[in-house]
Structure formats: structure tokens, C-alpha cells
Amino acid sequence: MTTQQSTMVLPPKTDNPTQTLEDRRFYTALSGADYLKLEQECLQRNTKPYNLTKIVLTLFIKGDLVNLNELPDEPATVIRAYLRKKQLARGELQIKEIEGG
């Protein structure tokens, strides 16, 4: 992590999204299934795919996006268990992590 924190923050999730899907022209290299997940996440955060992608990439470039492989064992284990439980609830079977580069 850098010493200077990024001003970019992920929008909080909401139970009552108000976003409309009127402008869906956002091109990405994501597979159709992953793009659908991106759209679902955007709906929950009441933002657009372009905006969410910009925020995540900015956090990554500035070093403010946490890589599970760089965390101490205890918090990494807790986070992996949480993600595994969340994915099992959605019918997915594996955890996909961003690999350090």
C-alpha cells in the first residue's frame, strides 16, 4: 500500500438501486459472463460499468487495491473464507483472485 491514500472509493452497495440501464455502451475485454457480473455489481453500487472500472483500476495503479497474496495469513484466510461462502451462495465453485504482478 502507498503512504498517500487514493481519493477514489468504491461506492457503497445499496438494497434499492435506482440506476437505469439506458446507456450500456461500454466496451471491455471481459467475457459475457464476467461483464454480467460487472453490471450486477454496478447496479448494487448504483454506478455505471465505466465508473466502477475506472475506480478499481485507479486503486490498482496507485497500490491501494489489496492483493490477497500479500496479506498476512490471518486476514487473508478470513477474506478467502468470506469470498468462498459468497461464491457458493451464487453457485460458483472457485475463488478468482487477482494475481500479483
> How does the average pLDDT of the chain come out, rounded?
75
Q: Is residue 84 part of a domain?
A: yes
Q: Are residues 47 and 76 in the same domain?
A: no
Q: Is residue 18 part of a domain?
A: no
Q: Is residue 71 part of a domain?
A: yes
| pLDDT 10s digits, 46-89 | 988 888 988 888 888 888 887 888 889 999 899 889 888 887 87
Q: Is residue 22 part of a domain?
A: no
**14 in Cβ contact with 44 (< 8 Å):** yes
Concatenating the DSSP letter of every residue in the chain gives: --SSPPS--PPPP-SS-----S------S--HHHHHHHHHHHHHHTS-HHHHHHHHHHHHHTT-SPPGGGS-HHHHHHHHHHHHHHHHHHT--S---PPP-
Q: Are residues 60 and 82 in the same domain?
A: no
Q: Is residue 46 part of a domain?
A: yes
**Total domain count, the chain:** 2
Q: Are residues 70 and 58 in the same domain?
A: no
Q: Are residues 73 and 95 in the same domain?
A: yes
Q: Is residue 4 part of a domain?
A: no
Q: How many CB atoms lie within 10 A of CB 95?
A: 13
Q: Which domain holds residue 49?
A: 28-64
Residue 26 has pLDDT above 70, yes or no: no
Cα angle: 77, vertex 57, 30; to 5 degrees: 85
Q: Is residue 52 part of a domain?
A: yes
**What is the identity of the amino acid at 15?**
D
Q: Shortest CA distance to 100 belongs to which of 72, 77, 68?
A: 68
